[in-house]
């Protein structure tokens, strides 16, 4: 193991990204609909189950995000886990493109949030709490309903998309 640096200052954003890139994560998209009807969404990997009772999910969004602003106004959002075939959807929702839903199969869920087609699973959430931490907001949602379809997950690792390589045992 290499020697660790002991510096009095915090690591840079570049160093932290390089470190975090070594942790493979699933790729998620969060969506919401502003009360004016405009659809919003973005790609993220800062997402986790927080509690089973009550059923809570946690997402982290940049405090400047238009999706965050719409989510605060609407009071609801949906979290989608992308299938390995959906890297292009991830790229679109990670972009600054105006209409991210153009050409993306979706329906409006019971919550009012758009639900993307072809995903592994989606959860419709009601906004529960928001907390500011650094340059991000921690958003906690109470899961109102889940939709599970199955498939193989899209993963993100060291700056690129990848997929699981699962050994299948032959009986």
Instruction: Determine the pLDDT at residue 22.
Output: 86
- The first and second tokens of residue 13, run together, are 């954003």
Strand partners, 161: 156
Asked if the structure places residue 110 within a domain, the reply is no
**Per-residue exposure over 130-150, b if at least 16 CB sit within 10 Å of its own CB, e if not:** eeeeeebbbbbbbbbeeeeee
Domain count, the chain: 1
Digit-by-digit pLDDT tens for the chain (171 residues) are: 555 555 556 888 889 888 888 888 899 999 999 999 999 999 998 999 999 999 999 999 999 999 999 999 999 999 999 999 999 999 999 999 989 999 999 999 999 999 999 999 999 999 999 999 999 999 999 999 999 998 999 999 888 888 887 776 776
The whole domain housing 122 covers 33-103+118-148
> Would you tell me how many other CB atoms lie within 10 Å of the CB of residue 101?
17
Q: Is residue 112 part of a domain?
A: no
Residue 89 domain flag: yes
In a domain, 50, yes or no: yes
Beta strand 25-26 pairing with 114-116? unpaired
Instruction: Kindly report the CATH number assigned to the domain that includes residue 53.
Output: 2.30.110.10
Residue 98 lies in a domain: yes
Domain presence at residue 158: no
Whether 125 is in a domain gets the answer yes
**Dihedral sign, CA of 91, 120, 83, 152?**
positive
Residue 53 lies inside a defined structural domain of this protein? yes
């Amino acid at each position: 193991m290499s020697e660790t640096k002991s510096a009095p200052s915090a690591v840079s954003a570049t160093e932290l990204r390089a470190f975090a890139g070594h942790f493979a994560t699933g790729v998620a998209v969060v969506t919401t609909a502003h009360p004016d009807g405009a659809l919003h969404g973005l790609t993220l990997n800062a997402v986790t189950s927080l509690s089973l009772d009550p059923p809570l999910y946690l997402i982290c969004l940049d405090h400047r995000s238009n999706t965050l602003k719409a989510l605060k106004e609407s009071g609801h959002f949906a979290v989608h886990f992308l299938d390995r075939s959906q890297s292009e959807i991830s790229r679109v929702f990670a972009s600054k493109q105006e209409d991210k839903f153009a050409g993306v199969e979706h329906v409006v869920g019971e919550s009012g949030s758009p639900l993307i087609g072809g995903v592994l699973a989606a959860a419709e959430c009601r906004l529960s709490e928001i907390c500011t931490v650094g340059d991000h907001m921690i958003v906690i949602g109470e899961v109102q309903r889940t939709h599970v379809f199955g498939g193989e997950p899209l993963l993100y690792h060291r700056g690129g998309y990848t997929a699981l390589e699962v050994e299948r045992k032959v009986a």
